[in-house]
A = this chain, B = another copy of it.
Amino acid sequence: MIGGGQGAFIGAVHRIAASLDGLYELTAGAFSSDAAKSQATGVLLGLAPDRVYGSYEELITKEKQRPAAERVQVISIVTPNYLHFAPAKMALENGFDVVLDKPMTFSLAEAKQLRAVAEASGRLLCLTHTYTGYPMVKEARQLLAAGTLGPIRKAYVEYPQGWLSGFEEGGANKQAAWRTDPARSGVAGAMGDIGTHAFNLLEYVTGLQVTHLCADINTVVPGRQLDDDGAVLLKLSNGASAVLIASQIAAGEENNVRIRVYGDKGGVEWQQVDANTLQVKWLDRPAEIRRTGTGYVGSFAQHNARVPAGHPEGYLEAFANLYRNFALTLQAREAGETASPEALDYPSIADGVRGMAFIENVIASGQSEQKWTAFTV
Contact = CB atoms under 8 A, between A and B. Distances in A.
Interface of A: 9, 12-13, 15-16, 19-22, 45-46, 149-150, 153-154, 156, 160-163, 165-166, 214, 216, 218, 220, 229, 231, 233, 241, 243, 245, 247, 249-256, 260, 262-267, 272-276, 279-291, 293-296, 306-317, 368-372
B252 A267 contact: yes
Given A254-B291, A289-B287, A311 B262 contact: no
Given A9-B308, A283-B165, A252 B241 contact: no
A288 B286 contact: yes
Nearest to A23: B46
B312 A315 contact: yes
Nearest to A365: B371
Contacts of A214: 214, 216, 233, 371
A106 B200 CA distance: 42
Among the interface residues A281, A285, A308, A312, which one has the most CB atoms of the partner chain B within 10 A? Answer: A312
22 contacts: A149-B251, A154-B249, A162-B283, A214-B214, A216-B233, A229-B241, A243-B243, A251-B262, A251-B264, A251-B265, A252-B287, A253-B310, A254-B294, A254-B309, A254-B310, A254-B311, A272-B312, A286-B288, A307-B315, A313-B315, A316-B316, A369-B370
A290 B281 CA distance: 11
Given A12-B306, A368-B371, A251 B281 contact: yes
Contacts of A218: 241
Contacts of A370: 369-371
Contacts of A312: 272-273, 275, 312, 314-315
Given A13-B306, A243-B243, A306-B316, 5 more contacts: A12-B306, A15-B22, A218-B241, A255-B308, A274-B274
A83 B157 CA distance: 39
A267 B12 contact: no
Contacts of A243: 231, 243, 245
Among the interface residues A260, A291, A370, which one has the most CB atoms of the partner chain B within 10 A? Answer: A260
